[in-house]
Amino acid sequence: MACAWSVFYLYLDREIAGSLDKTTALVRPFLALFIGTLVAIPIELWVFQGRIDQELQRQYRQDNKQQLDAVHTEEAKLDQRRTDLEGVLTDLRKQDGDWAKILDSEAVGRAGLGRTGIAGAGPAFLNAQTQQASIRQQIRDIRHDLDEMNRSLPEERQRLETLYGREEVGKVTDFVTRYEALDKVVRSSNALYRLSWLITLALILVEMTPAVLKILTPRADYHHLVRAEIRENETRIDEISDRNYRLAMENPEVPRLSVAEKLAICKFGPVPNTSAFGKGYETKTQA
């Protein structure tokens, strides 16, 4: 498509530049306006590529805000549950340490606030021992729950991602979507809006160069020579056509040379140089 487009440009500008009439160049500005505006689109997409990617990412997050919030909420619940278990485990370990101190005090008979001061395995010692055993059982249960949660955490996260993937609004990055994002990016900033217009106007001016050169180029002798030859050929064709018409009317059954064949003989046949220039044109003889 690019090669075909470039060939079209080549022949179009060639026709405009080679035309004898400058009015043909007036068509080029209208075409340049259309082509410059059209070609500016992919160039702007390339220039504003970074900002367009940001806009597409922002739009993606906005379209999936509800799903993302739901996933984040579920992940936060998992993290909060794990944090709560770790907090309970820390508190139980502290209680286990406190009951260990009580057992030690009761065993040696150390006096203190809430202590009997009697050494030996008395009722207070046995109660502390029972409480410590209960706390340690709770610690084992919490550790088991925490280990189970740590093992199941990747599966839970995978389940949430799968659930999110089912409801996710896919991210589209085709040409139409990027062009729509380009319009939002350009209109979001005055500087980018001016830059967009500068790119478009620059391309339009480049496209108008052949027409401008054609209009500003002065006429040369070549144009007059070509016009003279055209007028000469038109006169020859009209005269040959009239003669062929009269001959055909007089004797239509006799085959004769066509207008194009006689014109070719007249133009490309040998020219005798027997009479002076100005007395009249010599007729050409067939080679």
User: What pLDDT is attached to residue 284?
Assistant: 45
Q: Which of 237, 228, 235 is nearest to 263 (CA)?
A: 237
Give the contacts of 122 (CB within 8 A, at least 6 positions apart).
106, 116
H/E stretch holding 243 = helix 221-250
User: What pLDDT is attached to residue 34?
Assistant: 84
Residue 254, by phi and psi: left (phi above 0), alpha (psi -120 to 50) or beta?
Answer: beta
State the greatest distance between any 2 C-alpha atoms of the chain, in Å, as a whole number: 158
In the 8-state DSSP scheme, what is residue 109? T
pTM, whole model, 2 decimals? Answer: 0.48
Angle subtended at Cα 151 by Cα 149 and Cα 152, rounded to the nearest 5 degrees = 65
Is the separation of the CB atoms in 36 and 206 below 8 Å?
yes
Is the separation of the CB atoms in 38 and 45 below 8 Å?
no
Is the separation of the CB atoms in 135 and 99 below 8 Å?
yes
The rounded distance, in Å, linking the Cα atoms of 137 and 201 is 80
* H-helix segments, 109-167: 123-167
Count the helices and strands in the chain (H runs, E runs).
Answer: 10, 0
Domain boundaries, the chain: 2-61+172-216, 65-167, 221-268
Provide the sign of the torsion angle of the four alpha carbons 50, 56, 58, 60, taken in this order: negative
User: What pLDDT is attached to residue 198?
Assistant: 92
User: What pLDDT is attached to residue 285?
Assistant: 47
The rounded distance, in Å, linking the Cα atoms of 7 and 267 is 32
Phi, psi of 114 (to 5 degrees): 80, 10
Give the contacts of 182 (CB within 8 A, at least 6 positions apart).
41, 44, 45, 48, 52
Residue whose entry in the numeric block shows the structure tokens 């940001």: 54
Q: Which of 123, 128, 134, 131 is nearest to 103 (CA)?
A: 128
The rounded distance, in Å, linking the Cα atoms of 23 and 137 is 101
User: What pLDDT is attached to residue 258?
Assistant: 84
The rounded distance, in Å, linking the Cα atoms of 178 and 115 is 78
Q: What's the topology of domain 65-167?
A: Helix Hairpins (1.10.287)
Give the contacts of 268 (CB within 8 A, at least 6 positions apart).
none
pLDDT in tens, the chain (287 residues): 778 877 877 777 777 766 666 777 777 778 788 888 888 888 999 999 988 998 888 887 887 777 777 777 777 887 888 888 888 888 888 887 877 777 777 666 666 655 566 666 667 667 777 877 888 888 888 888 888 888 887 787 777 777 676 666 667 778 888 888 898 888 888 988 999 999 999 988 888 887 777 777 777 676 778 788 888 888 888 888 888 888 888 888 888 788 888 888 877 777 665 544 444 444 444 44
